[in-house]
Amino acid sequence: MRKKMIMLIGLSIILLQGCVPNMVVHTGGKSGTFNESTAKNITSDKLDCDDIVRKNIIQTYDYGKFALSKYWEIATLGLIKAGETKTKKMKRKCLESLGHAVLD
C-alpha cells in the first residue's frame, strides 16, 4: 500500500511538470508602438519576471489547483474550462509591461 502511494505521488509530480508555462516571446525587434527595439533585454526581462512570479505565487498550489480544474474540464467533456494558471497570467503581464509581445 505504501509503495503504491509513493508511486502515485511521484507520478503526480512528474505529470505536473508538463503544466509549467513556457512563454513564447516575439523577439523580432521593434513594433509599431515602440520607437526602438525592446527585445534586446529579453533574457534579463524573463529572469526578472520569473523572480517576480516566484516571490508572489505559491507555484505548487497554483499548479495543483490547475491540475484539479483540468480534471474537471476532462470530466465535464469541456463544458467547464480550466483556464490558465496565475503563474502564466502574471508572467505574461510582466513581459508585456516591459514591451515584449507574448505569443502564447
Q: What is the pLDDT of residues 77-99, one digit of tens each?
A: 989 998 999 999 999 999 988 88
pLDDT at 77: 92
Q: Is residue 50 within 8 Å of residue 83, measured between CB atoms?
A: no
Its domain, for residue 28, covers 2-102
Q: What pLDDT does 27 receive?
A: 59
Give the pLDDT confidence score for residue 35 in this predicted structure. Answer: 65
Angle at CA of residue 88, ends 84 and 89, nearest 5° = 75
pLDDT value for 33: 59
Number of domains in the chain: 1
Residue pair 38/98 in contact (Cβ under 8 Å)? The answer is yes
The per-residue pLDDT for 30 is 54
pLDDT digits (tens, 9 = 90+) for 1-59: 788 888 888 777 777 666 656 666 765 555 555 566 656 788 889 999 999 999 999 99
The pLDDT, as a whole number, for residue 37 is 63
Q: Give yes or no for a contact between 39 and 28, defined as CB atoms under 8 angstroms apart.
A: yes
Tracing cell 520607437 back to the chain, one arrives at 35
pTM metric for this prediction: 0.66
